Amino acid sequence: MAVVKLDQICKRYGGSGPVAVDHVDVTIGDGEFMVLLGPSGCGKSTTLRMIAGLETISSGTLSIDGRVVNDVAAKDRDIAMVFQSYALYPHMTVADNLAFGLRRRNIDRAEIARRVQDAAGILGLTPLLDRKPHALSGGQRQRVALGRAMVREPMVFLFDEPLSNLDAALRVNTRNELIKQHGRLGSTMIYVTHDQVEAMTMGTRICVMNGGKVAQIGAPLEVYWQPADTFVARFLGSPPMNLLTVRPDGAGRIATDHVSASLERWAPALLASLAGKEATLGVRAEDLHLRADGLGLSPGRICGRVFAVEPLGAETLLAVEIEGGQEWTARLPRDTRADVGQSVDLFFPAEATYLFDAASGKAMKPMETAGVADLRRREAGLVH
Ligand code: ADP
Ligand code: MG
């Protein structure tokens, strides 16, 4: 059992430096796989290192299973951390690498042997126990690094970008491996990454960070479908969500030469308050289509000039410039043909529109009648 609770945690390096972590509030449930996601410098590693006890906490309360651990030494927190650079001891065998930390803790030999065998069995390292690190592949080394954390049988595992040194294929393998191990061990895991695909595929929940603050916490698809602000909308999603400054009328209609849309997802009172003011319209790349049929009664339309066509094999990305200079990207079927310089109309269903406050970037909450989640379910044939 291990619930990790961060309550208004702050970190200022050097006591008076800039705030690296700013009032972070998050509770990681027992057995949860929580991903801390955000761009470089947003405070992910600092947060993780405070949980590990490798960095002091400037203010706020950190507790594990209800016990405040702010002042508990790293070695007494029952936490194991796996880093990006997993330095194994090159002159030691896999078995010795796995056992090393336990020997230093004076755990008895039979117990060490049991734990090493268990971890090796789970991680598929049993046939490799006598090898030295140089005779292992990158993925096998990563498994040894994970095994070293596992043999400690910690309450909580922490990972700081453990896959970022691996090549693409190995990263996918190791990612799947970690998901499997999490399922098997059922331990609480906190995983730092700047890679949104890792976050989406591995996390039971994602905590998106921006500038030291929590931008949003939620299940992967919840964060993807209901981003709290334009930062989250663009950080999750590749290509990022398309955005455009618009001025809807009081009835939620947008009508200019290059864009028309009807904002049906928002309450009339909210739309009335926006009349003639700037707001930010958002549409995801996969919700843009070259034809309007099948997109519901009042699809939106945006017109732009093609400046790049990227056939990726499984799909084709079309990058268009909207009047005013904004660039949008559409994710279209693989057989899409278009010429650079050509003018195209792109259509989107009313349910797939997002609206953000122009100044703060915060999402405007739609009425819950129809939303992107409903749209997806309908597309998947789950609801008729
Ligand atoms: P991330 O892991 O998300 O890339 P970090 O937690 O490493 O971000 O860094 C957050 C902020 O704290 C950055 O502005 C970084 O420059 C600063 N920082 C990190 N470590 C130190 C340190 N040891 N001393 C001073 N500033 C630091
Ligand atoms: Mg980092």
What pLDDT is attached to residue 353? 95
Ligand nearest to the CA of 54: 1
Percent of the chain clearing pLDDT 90 (strictly above): 74
The ligand 1 atom nearest the CA atom of 11: 12
43 lines ligand 1 (CB under 6 A): yes
pTM for this model (two decimals)? 0.90
13 lines ligand 1 (CB under 6 A): yes
Task: Estimate to the nearest angstrom the gap between the alpha carbon of 165 and the chain centroid.
Answer: 18
Ligand nearest to the CA of 49: 1
What pLDDT is attached to residue 135? 94
46 lines ligand 1 (CB under 6 A): yes
Annotate 353-375 with DSSP letters as a single string.
EEEEETTT-BBPPPPSSS-HHHH
Instruction: Take atom 19 of ligand 1 and give the residue whose Cα is closest.
Output: 46
Structure token digits, residue 166 = 């691996």
Ligand nearest to the CA of 15: 1
Contact 296/350 with Cβ under 8 angstroms?
yes
What pLDDT is attached to residue 370? 54
The ligand 1 atom nearest the CA atom of 55: 23
Distance 41 CA to ligand 1 centre (A): 6
Q: Per residue in 338-349, pLDDT tens?
A: 999 999 999 999
The ligand 1 atom nearest the CA atom of 21: 10
Q: Which residues surround ligand 2, an ion (CB under 5 A)?
A: 45
Instruction: Take atom 10 of ligand 1 and give the residue whose Cα is closest.
Output: 43
Distance 210 CA to ligand 2 centre (A): 13
d(CA 115, CA 112): 5
What pLDDT is attached to residue 376? 65
Beta strands in the chain (DSSP E): 4-12, 19-28, 33-37, 59-64, 67-68, 79-82, 156-160, 188-193, 205-210, 213-218, 242-246, 253-255, 259-262, 279-283, 300-311, 315-322, 327-333, 343-348, 353-357
Q: Per residue in 191-203, pLDDT tens?
A: 999 999 999 999 9
Per-residue tens of pLDDT for the chain, all 384 residues: 799 999 999 999 987 778 999 999 999 999 999 999 999 999 999 999 999 999 999 999 999 999 999 999 998 998 998 876 667 999 999 999 999 989 988 899 999 999 999 889 888 899 999 999 999 988 788 889 888 988 988 999 999 998 887 778 778 877 888 888 888 888 999 999 999 999 999 999 999 999 999 999 999 999 999 999 999 999 999 999 999 999 999 999 999 999 999 999 999 999 999 998 999 999 999 999 999 998 888 899 999 999 999 999 999 999 999 998 899 999 999 999 999 999 999 999 999 999 999 999 999 999 865 566 666 666 666 554
What pLDDT is attached to residue 109? 94
d(CA 107, CA 370): 58
16 lines ligand 1 (CB under 6 A): no
The ligand 1 atom nearest the CA atom of 49: 6
Please list, in sequence order, all residues whose beta carbon lies within 8 angstroms of the beta carbon of residue 327, skipping any fewer than 6 positions away.
Answer: 307, 319, 320, 321
Say if residue 331 is exposed, middle or buried (CB neighbours under 10 Å; 0-12, 13-18, 19+). Answer: buried
Strand order in the sheet with 33-37: 79-82, 156-160, 188-193, 33-37, 205-210, 213-218
Ligand nearest to the CA of 55: 1
Distance 231 CA to ligand 2 centre (A): 19
Give the chain's domains with CATH numbers. Answer: 4-225 (3.40.50.300), 241-370 (2.40.50.140)
